[in-house]
Amino acid sequence: MMSTYNISKMNKDAQMRATINQKLIETGERERLKELLRAKLIECGWKDQLKAHCKDVIKEKGLEHVTVDDLVAEITPKGRGSWGTDRLGRKRNEVDVKTKTSTLVPDSVKKELLQRIRTFLAQHASL
């Protein structure tokens, strides 16, 4: 297992992330976090806002011609928070920079989720 990876720093990080993700899924914590986030986002109106945005997109493109990719491309940057880079480290595009100012996810939700992730990490780091 170790032999397949280089000892370089980048690979070590990637490996560690993979391990953490695996642990998240294995313990079921990821599923729990997803459920929590979903409930919170519905509660705070995030889902409704995005749905309204979906409507605009669909009306613009035409009911028949909408694809999942269109929706994902339109919705994900809007629904995501206000970070400079995405998961893969790419810079955000123009639209993302604009939406950065109007983060849809409330701070309280974000903080709560981050707190739970941190405790999870702390638990598994201290093992």
Partner 1 sequence: MKMEEMSLSGLDNSKLEAIAHEIYTDLVEDACLGLCFEVHRAVKCGYFFLDDTDPDSMKDFEIVDQPGVDIFGQVYNQWKNKECVCPNCSRSIAASRFAPHLEKCLGMGRNSSRIANRRIASSNNMNKSESDQEDNDDINDNDWFYGSEKKAKKRKSDKNPNSPRRSKSLKHKNGELSSNSDPFKYSNSSGINYETLGPEELRTLLTTQCGVISEHTKKMCTRSLRCPQHTDEQRRAVRVYFLGPSAPLPEAEGSVENDSFDVAESQALMSRLQWDGSSDLSPSDSASSKTSTNNSESRKTKKKKPHLSLVGAAPGLSSNKKKKPKPPAPPTPSIYDDIN
Task: Closer to partner 1 by CB, 15 or 100: give it.
Answer: 15
Supply the minimum distance, in Å, between the C-beta of residue 87 and partner 1: 6
Task: Closer to partner 1 by CB, 67 or 101: give it.
Answer: 67
Nearest CA to 5 out of 87, 17, 88, 126 is that of 17
By the rule CB under 8 A, 7 interacts with partner 1:
no
Cβ(110)–Cβ(33) below 8 Å: no
Cβ(78)–Cβ(103) below 8 Å: no
Region 41-100 residues binding partner 1, contact defined as CB under 8 A: 41, 47, 50-51, 54-55, 58, 63, 66-68, 71-72, 75-76, 79-81, 83, 86-87
User: Which residues lie below 8 Å from residue 69, measured CB to CB, with a gap of 6+?
Assistant: none
